Chains A and B, each alone.
Chain A
Amino acid sequence: MTEHVLEASPVLRVAGRNSRDEVLNVATSAASLPVVAVGSTGLSALEPLVLATQNRQTAFYESCTPQRAADLADTLDNGELDIEDADAVIEHASTPTRLPIPDRSPLGVGTRTVLGRCGWLRPTCPNDYRASGGFETLTADGETVVGAARRVTGRGWGDAMADTSVGDSWKRVIDADGDPAVVVNAHGTPSDRLLLESLPFLPLEGALAAAQIVDASDVIIYLSEADNQAHERVTAAIENLPQTNAAVHAVTGPDEYRAAEPTMALEAIEGSQRLEARLRPPQPDIEGIYGRPTLVHTPRTLAQIVHATSGAAPTRIVTIRGDVQHEATVELPADGSLATAREAVTVDGTFKCACVGGQFGGLTPDLDIAPTPDALGAAGVGTEGVIDVLNEDQCLVAYIGEQSRFAQDENCGRCVPCREGTVQLTDLLREVYDGSFRPDAIEELLRVIESSSICAFGRDATRPVATGLDHFEDEFAVHAGGQCPTGTCTTELQHEVSQ
């Protein structure tokens, strides 16, 4: 094959996360043309997705079986593109650098700027990435990169600059004493995992660009030990990076929700066996990893900076899951609406509401919210980039109780408002089943946990309960009267200890 996949024609691409390999093997043995493994598009409903490209045309075959892939490869080997059977066919330039986008769901939903090359390039091939316009940030003018960092807000709770301008943090690192470091916190969120699996060079490029600006000598990619594929891909990509002044390392931490908190990430990287949050201020950008001034950004943040450097408007990546047939990761323009993400999935049953913002997201019956920190904040929901859909069978009192108990079980144990507050919160919610619903006591506790916990774990843990009371207080009242409208909470369940 040619030096990079973009020039190859004809070529058969197989995109996907799981169950891709069999399709790949069968198609490879069926034909002599290049059959290449590309990363996931983030849309599990389509995968394995086979893309046949020839003569400025790409045909899409969704959920492709190995047999069908073999037939397609064989047909293409004979110089023909099977257009009849394709789910979509797109005409394009001779060497498109991005996945061509058909005008149909789910690929056509939202925009695809940061995700544009997912499913089109071989994830760990540096030539593919370079040919697609990659690594340009590394030679861009420093002022341009810093300007981009100022326009981009940190993405996800694992980012030390969540929802605030990244440029401020870069400035503090530059001004601080000590040898700076950059931590790429990829722990725990589906979209960050997708970027590392499908397009690892993109966040790495952003991290190296940041390292150049702040003059960091180490870049540390931190991820969950459960994310094997992401770990393999990023490790392979690290070996193929362009030469820079920073050494790049990959480090894994425990597969626990709290391990994504920025300072617990630092603790895990330093090898602490027990993870708890560090005090702030000063923030990690003044005293971070081993006391060094440290940037902590998620892959999403760094990817946004790369694109902003080349002039693209910031977007937001969201993963929609829960009571849907297939989880989907899509990208929305800043002036768009979260409701658009719903078009990428089929809801199981009837949509009741959504928990927006991940584990400790906010409940909302209405998804028509712009995907910006301001708009999401005003709606009381979280910015973590995950939408959990809840259908009409979900009892919100039970759902909220489970979130509260998760907080009680999974906190690090350091501070009283979170460690003891979540126990009392869970108890107050449980009391509802005994007929005692005390919204004032619950709200007082929520205020204190939110305002006095050390880290974002405790602060965010209040959100499901607070928004649940805002939108669904009547469901609590009905439960206190001994009834569960969805029939989820039966009276027997109340006192029974199930296994």
Chain B
Amino acid sequence: MSSEFTRTDVPPLTEAIQPGTATDPTIGSTDTATVTVDGHEVTLEEGATVLDAVTAVDTNEDVPALCSYDREDNIGPRSECRTCMVETDDHGLVPSCSFPAEDGLNVKTDATAATEARDVNLDLVLSNHNLRCTTCGKNGRCELQDAAIATDVEEPRYGVLDDRDAYEPIDDSSSFIQIDRNKCILCNRCVEACNDVQVEGVLHMEGSGQDTRIGFQNGAETMADSTCVSCGHCVTVCPTGSLVEKGIEDAATLPIPGFTQKNSIGQSFESTDENKEPMTPMKQDDRSETNGPTSTNTAGESESESELEDWP
């Protein structure tokens, strides 16, 4: 890629941070607006989205809005899960979490097309999720689980990810945070928490298509080799069991003998337990001294399977 057209006014602090995500425009309304949702009128401040109106009233249908996060201004809307679709008179179906609350907009949560889109998209999220809630540390406090229960998902139409060969190894290399990407919904909250709130520049989004995943800006394969300072912000914002604090990763697991979160996946990057500092060796700038993490299985095989297969 060549670029002879570049900008020179980037602030030095954030210059080096590469979150791997698009630079979205400013989302939200440009003025105060009154919106009608399922017959209820709501007046909202400037900067509001349709979802702000939807959450302000008692809607006819449940709108999971799974990937949205309203507790911190610097995070979202990523608007990727599309489980927040609602129908509007003027624009048809819109993602409520990132659509501006325009004055006079008439919104319906119970239009057939909107319900269908939310249900299908939630099932699409589940189709790529290792849905083993009973062995998951977030059991009972998981936003995906909540959404599935609220939407009465009984049998997701596309099934769930339960092909052991397709699982990514759990990253258990850090002494503080465990990553199970098989539970990641790519909501990007952790990436934004790490870059836009903490300004640590550790996490980023990488890959495309089915290979899209959260990774590390320094190119490390494991958390232990990243530049993480273990501030824990990413864990706080993660809606699922993908990022959990060490020590409680099995806290909510149902006590079924021999059945744990780790052996549900089958492979993991183990911790050497040598580094007890919150900062990783990379962050301590002490690269040569410590041992790297070890893998209980050969890493890297989860990528590029079935790539050469010809149609059909």
Interface residues of A (CB under 8 A from B): 218, 220, 225, 249-254, 258, 263-264, 267-282, 284, 286-287, 290-291, 397-398, 401-402, 405, 408-417, 419-421, 423-424, 427, 429-430, 433, 441, 444-445, 447-448, 451-454, 489, 493-494, 496-499
Contact = CB atoms under 8 A, between A and B. Distances in A.
Contact of A405 (B77, B186, B311): B311
Sort A-B residue pairs by CB-CB distance and give the 9 closest, nearest first: A413-B212, A287-B25, A420-B124, A249-B5, A448-B120, A452-B82, A274-B20, A278-B22, A413-B208
23 contacts: A218-B5, A251-B2, A269-B5, A270-B7, A272-B20, A273-B18, A281-B100, A291-B23, A409-B209, A411-B208, A412-B209, A413-B209, A413-B211, A414-B212, A415-B81, A416-B121, A417-B124, A423-B128, A424-B124, A445-B120, A451-B113, A454-B79, A489-B312
Contact of A271 (B1, B26, B83, B124): B1
B116 interface: yes
Interface in B275-300: none
Interface stretch (B31-39, B54-62, B91-99, B175-183): B91-99
Contact of B95 (A263, A413, A452): A452
B2 A278 contact: no
B141 interface: no
Contacts of B79: 279, 415, 454
Interface in B35-84: 77, 79-83
Name the prevailing secondary structure of the B interface residues: loop
B117 interface: yes
A250 B3 CA distance: 8
Contact of B7 (A290, A416, A419): A290
Contacts of A250: 4
A452 B117 contact: yes
B27 A279 contact: yes
B99 A415 contact: no
B272 to A, nearest CB: 31
A275 B81 CA distance: 18
Contact of B24 (A279, A405, A413, A444): A279
A249 B4 contact: yes
Contacts of A270: 3, 7, 23
B30 to A, nearest CB: 9
Given A416-B121, A451-B113, A225 B1 contact: yes
A417 B121 contact: yes
Contacts of A429: 312
A450 to B, nearest CB: 10
A452 B311 contact: no
Interface of B: 1-7, 18, 20-27, 77, 79-83, 85, 92-93, 95, 98-100, 113, 116-117, 120-121, 124-125, 127-128, 157-158, 186, 205-212, 306, 308-312
Nearest to B4: A249
Contacts of A423: 127-128, 210
Nearest to B308: A499
A445 B25 CA distance: 29
Contacts of B308: 497-499
Most buried by A among B23, B92, B157, B308: B23
Contacts of B93: 451-452
A444 B22 CA distance: 29
B25 A254 contact: no
Nearest to B208: A413
Contact of B4 (A251, A275, A489): A251
Contacts of A451: 85, 92-93, 113, 117
Nearest to A407: B209
A433 B124 contact: no
Given A273-B20, A274-B20, A252 B208 contact: no
Contacts of B116: 444, 447-448
B108 to A, nearest CB: 14
Contacts of B186: 413, 419
Contacts of A282: 25-26
A420 B5 contact: no
Contacts of A412: 208-209
Contact of B2 (A252, A279, A427, A498): A252
A484 to B, nearest CB: 10
Contact of A411 (B158, B209, B306, B311): B209
